[in-house]
Amino acid sequence: MTAPARSARFLIVGPQGSGKGTQGVLVAEAFGVPQVSTGDIFRANISGGTELGKRVQSIIEAGDLVPDELTSELVRDRLAQADAAEGFLLDGYPRNRGQVGDLEDFLAGRGESLDAVIELDVPREESIARISQRAIEQGRTDDTEDVIANRLAIYERETAPILDVYRAQGIVVRIDGVGSLAEVTARIFEALAVRGLAPAHPGRGAA
């Protein structure tokens, strides 16, 4: 039986509709580490009235994108908190090569590095079908096929290329993201176990 990993520093990557948010929660729970998503960080800082939050809020209210430098600063602040000392699962960051450099510099400064990058591989047609179905179920009229296709194009243009950086490091775990929730989850844990990364709490998602 594989011994539990001493650390669990993960990044989960996949297009919209890949299920990475749900899978990320399951992996984080099983390994006993926090799931760290940029959306959650933005909301927490804004609602908490922090100085970083005020800067983010003014940018969002102006209709602009939060710049890489500020996004990276917020993530560094979150990863410096006590619950992330032994590991974390990043979701939504880094989104581009510039943010990859920021993250690697930060982790290197602490003598750390990512243990694995989980890539959920889902065909474009499947992503569009899933998001469209979710929009119908949630009564959202803004998720048109054109809007969805544009989001996927941004992912393919800006985020997918970061995987080349991590493939060169030999830490990408490519997972077939098509199938039931349980099937995909099982594939993730099996692939991580092969790399000697066993969850500390297998009952919490790694069934």
Place of tokens 């970083």: 52
Reply yes or no on whether 20 is catalytic. Answer: yes
Considering 43, 110, 134, 157, which one is annotated as catalytic?
134
Q: Which of 52, 76, 80, 79 is nearest to 66 (CA)?
A: 52
Determine whether 95 is an active site residue: yes
* CB hemisphere CA count around 33 (13 angstroms): 28
Indicate which residue of 20, 78, 130, 187 is catalytic. Answer: 20
Instruction: Give me the sheet containing 8-13, strands edge to edge.
Output: 35-37, 87-91, 8-13, 116-121, 172-176
Q: Identify the active-site residue in 43, 110, 140, 157.
A: 140
Specify the length of the chain in residues: 207
Strands 35-37 and 8-13 come out as unpaired
Annotated catalytic residue within 95, 124, 174, 195: 95
130 is known as an active-site residue: no
Residue with tokens 């047609």: 125
In the set 55, 76, 97, 151, the catalytic residue is 151
Residue 110 designated active-site: no
Closest CA to 12 of 200, 203, 166, 170: 166
- Dihedral of CA 22/85/48/14: which sign? negative
Provide the sign of the torsion angle of the four alpha carbons 180, 13, 192, 81, taken in this order. negative
Active site residues: 20, 95, 134, 140, 151
